[in-house]
Structure 1
């Protein structure tokens, strides 16, 4: 098993060295990003970076950020150039969640197998742009 690259994560309880895990939520196939750390020689879950909001709009490379230690998570994303924090937010009940457009190529540097599976799930190749543009409908046959 190859060594996974760790990234520094600073939060109110100190500094952690974490590993990125990329996947998809079972409901909606949205982008999932987990944070893992080594405990007693084994990798285990530290936190979820993202939260599943299947009814809030998002492109294939976008996800909403879990609000526990949200500012630390957003700083982590910016520091390690994982994506761009967007002005849009998602909602669930009274909670508001920041939305991030993740750089799938950057995530692939950290979890190649996870990103490869995620791209395959969405029918993407490595060369495809991350953000799928909305195409204009053809006016052919619509003239009156």
Structure 2
């Protein structure tokens, strides 16, 4: 871990999959190509933060809103359970496709993600010219009607 990350311990979330239980941290960023939402899963290994897996995959040819991303196909059921269990976003009906593989699409709650990687979410929003998470479309309530 570097600089401020050492001073501020990241929150972990429980992740259960076919190989057992892991305590993971979220890493939010933007993919270099098209600045789409990237979410990585990291864990502590011998005192160092290391990559565990990618939660998302960049399907640049498939449409997404700025708070949406496709879920990496490896252990996708465990990843979807993780997203639902920790209320990180909503699994959408739309699917993404690449080659012979299909990918689930999720509308992530950027305000919720900010609880686990504030700097990453702020950087992602800045790169994409977005308002702070509490002001994003996904978190706005529809206006009341009379």
Q: TM-score, normalised by structure 1?
A: 0.89
**Relative to total residues, which structure has the larger helix share, 1 or 2?**
2
1:11 to partner: Cα distance? 0.1
SS of corresponding position for 1:110: coil
Q: Which of 122, 125, 143 is equivalent to 1:119?
A: 125
RMSD: 0.8
Give unmatched runs, 5+ long, in structure 1: 132-144
SS of corresponding position for 2:135: coil
Measured against aligned partners, the alpha-carbon deviations of 1:21-59 in whole angstroms (never above 9, x if no partner) come to 000101111000000000000000000000000110000
Q: Any residues of structure 2 matched to 1:1-16 within 5 Å, and which?
A: 1-16=7-22
Give unmatched runs, 5+ long, in structure 2: 1-6, 139-146
Q: Any residues of structure 2 matched to 1:62-141 within 5 Å, and which?
A: 62-126=68-132, 127-131=134-138
Give the count of matched residue pairs: 131
Match of 2:4 in 1: none
The structure with the largest alpha-carbon Rg is 1
Match of 2:45 in 1: 39
